[in-house]
Amino acid sequence: MTNLQATIDALGILDDQIKEMEARYKTMKAALADLAPGKYEGDRFSLNVSESTRETLDMEAVRNHLSPQFITAHTRATPVRTLRVKLLPGKAVAA
C-alpha cells in the first residue's frame, strides 16, 4: 500500500467516524431541544439555551425583482476544490 493509498483510507475512516459522531450529536441535541431558555450544567460542561429571531433574505424573491444584467454584474465566481471520500464497493470501513 502506498502512502497516498494509506492517507486516502485514513481519511475515509475518519470521515465515517465523523458521520457517526455527528449523528450522535444531533440525537443528543434533539433530546435537549425542549429545555426552557437558561443555563444548565453537567459535571464538566455547561449548556446555554437561548431563543432569538433570525432574519433571512428570500433570494428567490430578490432575483425575481432584479434584472439578469444586474445579477450577472454582481455575481462573483470563486474557484473551489472539492474532495469527496467514498467507501469502495465490497470493502469494510474498519482499519
Cell numbers standing for residue 85? 471520500
What is the pTM (predicted TM-score) of this model? 0.71
Q: Specify the pLDDT at position 92.
A: 87
- Quick: pLDDT tens for 10-25: 999 999 999 999 999 9
DSSP characters for 34-87? TPPSEEEE-SS-EEEE---------HHHHHHHS-HHHHHHT------------P
Of 79, 20, 25, 26, the closest CA to residue 12 belongs to 20
Rg (CA), the chain: 22
Q: Specify the pLDDT at position 37.
A: 95
Of 49, 31, 50, the closest CA to residue 40 belongs to 49
